[in-house]
Amino acid sequence: MKNEDNLLDKIVSLCKRRGFIYPGSSIYGGFAGTYDLGPYGVMLRRNLVDEWKRAIEEEDSIAFIESSIFTSRKVWEASGHVSGFSDPLVVCNSCHTKQRADHLLESIGAFADEKMTEKKINEVFDAHRKELTCTICGKKDFGKVRAKNLLATSTLGVFEEDDQEVYLRAETAQGIYINFKNVFDVGSYEIPFGIAQIGKVFRNEISPRQFLFRMREFEQMEMQYFVRPKDAPAAYARWKQKRFEYYPTLGIKKEKLRLKQHDNLVFYAKDAWDIQYEFPFGWNELEGLHYRGDYDLSQHQKFSGADAGVYDEETKERYIPHVVETSVGVERTMLMVLCDAYSEDEMNGEKRVVLRFHPRIAPIKTAVFPLLRNKPQLVEKAQEVYRMLRQNPAFGGAVRFDDNGNIGKRYRRQDEIGTPFCVTVDFDSLEKDDVTVRDRDTGKQERIDVKSLTLHIKEELTK
């Protein structure tokens, strides 16, 4: 059932129902391309961010920074975003909808690239015009292709007449490049080393779609690794492999992941690959892995006049480090883990939906229930067990107490949140000081002494 068209709809509705993700500004009818995280969304995000950080700095020297969202316009001029960060759009003369020219061309197998100049893509479009059909109304009547810049703008100023248009950052990477020398000059980091940051970015995406896949406001986790030019190809190969091998450690199915080299490189890129995931709507980019040469640092040196070079003790020469970049969206990662974890099965003759999250990323690790909510001794004992687990640093507070509805309903709720273990306190527990622990995936229940419960669950979570 995984590739059914409505899988995405089911995930969207589960996310809303269970408090993971809500459409942005939903009580006002929504605001396209934005989503709000609910309590379990925040916990899932935290786990994914923590895992990313852990993996990124596992064996390398990495400095974490946080650069600002408002940035000087010059940053985006130097980076090439002002002149080149655009989507090629065409308007259908019949139904007046705006569509991506590169996507239309790709749909008939014609070569197209969002990085092409406006002139070039118009030439290609004209050559295929007769074959191109509007995806909405089916007519073959498009206007000229126009490049639409994706930088989101805002204004800053005291009075309206002083207002200055400013760009919101479109990627976190530029904040890293412009701070490279600041970090390097501290003296604690030597080439090779990486600078990483996690933060919000904004893009005026023309057609935000596919839930969290294409948003207008989202979060990136990016790492720029600075190396000597001669060491760059090996560093790139290593990071490519490392990042590809990372996702199965989050429990992602290997057959749903692949590495794909870019067919066309932007002029400065030395090599570029994507890690792709097979989403319900097809194989698509999850993470970008780019060998960018010295382009970014050189551009900022050229535009700002600030020296980006470093001294090589070996060759006694100055050089501009080369950059290997890994870049992935938090929400796109979330969408992948949700799609990968979603499953429907039958347990004890009842249909259920279950998110089979790897325990490390599951928002809630354990839920604790009293068998009956109207029996004070059971509630008291369950509260005691709940506090014991919740206060243990190993669970990071990711333990829930639930006495709402009957046990079956509570299991269904926790299955849909992806909670690996449910602990129930029943009448026997009062006598024997033990509880039942139920496994999310198998439904198997076993009795465990309260005094060994923490260790038992800790071991199960790290299996």
Q: Which residues bind ligand ATP (CB under 6 A)?
A: 171, 203, 205, 214-215, 218, 220, 285-288, 327-329, 331-332
User: Minimal distance in Å, beta carbon 287 to ligand ATP?
Assistant: 5
Residue (195 or 457) nearer to ligand ATP, CB: 195
Q: In the structure encoding, which two tokens stand for residue 407, read together? A: 């046990």
Cα 262 to Cα 269: distance, rounded to the nearest angstrom: 10
Quote the least distance from Cβ 33 to ligand ATP, whole Å.
8
Q: Which is nearer to ligand ATP, 289 or 389 (CB)?
A: 289
What is the distance between the alpha carbons of residues 420 and 364, in angstroms, rounded to a whole number? 8
Residue 95: what residue type? Answer: C
Nearer to ligand ATP, 250 or 389 (CB): 250
- Least Å distance, CB 249 to ligand ATP, is 18
Least Cβ distance, residue 45 to ligand ATP (angstroms): 13
Q: How far is the CB of 297 from ligand ATP (least distance, A)?
A: 18
Nearer to ligand ATP, 205 or 415 (CB): 205
State in angstroms the smallest separation of the CB of 284 from ligand ATP.
Answer: 7
Q: What is the DSSP letter of 321?
A: P
CB of 209 to ligand ATP, least distance (A): 9
Judged by beta carbon, residue 20 or residue 218, the one nearer ligand ATP is 218
Residue nearer to ligand ATP on the CB measure, 53 or 458: 53
What value, to the nearest 5°, has the Cα angle with vertex 150 and ends 146 and 154? Answer: 125
Q: Rounded distance, CA 403 to CA 272, Å?
A: 51
Least Å distance between CB 85 and ligand ATP? 9
Query: Within a 13 Å sphere around the CA of 257, how many CA atoms are in the beta-carbon half?
Result: 21
Is 184 or 246 the residue whose CB approaches ligand ATP more closely?
246
- Of 329 and 420, the one with the shorter C-beta distance to ligand ATP is 329
Sequence-ordered alpha helix ranges (H) in 355-426: 376-390, 407-417
Residue number, 339 or 399, with CB nearest to ligand ATP: 339
Say if CB 273 and CB 240 are below 8 A apart.
yes
* Residue nearest ligand ATP (C-beta atom): 329
Q: Do the Cβ atoms of 8 and 342 come closer than 8 Å?
A: no
Sheet holding 282-293, edge to edge: 62-64, 193-202, 217-227, 322-329, 282-293, 271-279, 257-261
- Quick one: DSSP state of residue 160? G
CB of 199 to ligand ATP, least distance (A): 12
Three-state secondary structure call for residue 117: coil
d(CA 226, CA 104) in angstroms, rounded, equals: 38
Sequence-distant (6+) residues with CB within 8 A of 66 are 197, 199
Q: How far apart are CA 364 and CA 360, in angstroms?
A: 10
Handedness of CA 253, 259, 260, 265 (dihedral sign): positive
Of 134, 95, 92, 88, nearest to 111 by C-alpha is: 88
Residue 385 neighbours by CB distance under 10 Å: 24
- How would you classify the pairing of strands 310-312 and 282-293? unpaired
Does residue 132 contact residue 108 with C-beta atoms inside 8 Å? Answer: yes
Task: Give min distance, CB of 104 to ligand ATP, in A.
Answer: 16
Question: Which CB, 74 or 209, lies closer to ligand ATP?
Answer: 209
> Phi first, then psi: what are they for 62, rounded to 5°?
-130, 130
Q: Least distance (Å) from ligand ATP to the CB of residue 334?
A: 10
Nearer of residues 278 and 285 to ligand ATP, judged by Cβ: 285
19: left (phi over 0), alpha (psi -120 to 50) or beta: left
Q: What's 285's DSSP letter?
A: E
90 or 379: whose CB is closer to ligand ATP? 90
**Minimum distance from residue 212 beta carbon to ligand ATP (Å):** 6
Per the DSSP assignment, residues forming a β-bridge with 99 are 90
Rounded CA-CA distance 369/273 in Å is 47
